[in-house]
Amino acid sequence: MNRPSRSKCPHCGGSFPIRNSLELNPVLRRVHAQCTNTECGFTAQGFFQWEFELSPSGLPNPEFSLPPSPHRIKSAQVKCV
């Protein structure tokens, strides 16, 4: 199993893992991250949001949808020409 990806602290470049998150809706989560470098100690709040659908689900939820990615739209237009 792959390790979850971690972001980098914008101050010291250390590991900046998400410590907790709260689902605001199926597309948007509020996240809190904290630098693991004890000399830095930077903490921040931000958002994690799904933006585009790259590949459709095999088990689609009729109450959830995302717009197709601009790349998929462009590819579909090229195929129609």
In whole angstroms, what separates CA 38 from the centre of its chain? 26
- Per CB under 5 A, the segment of 28-36, 47-55, 57-65, 67-75 that binds Zn ion is 28-36
- Per CB under 5 A, the segment of 39-47, 48-56, 64-72, 73-81 that binds Zn ion is 39-47
Is 14 one of the binding residues for Zn ion (CB under 5 A)?
yes
Is 42 one of the binding residues for Zn ion (CB under 5 A)?
yes
Binding stretches for Zn ion (CB under 5 A): 9, 11-12, 14, 35, 37, 40, 42
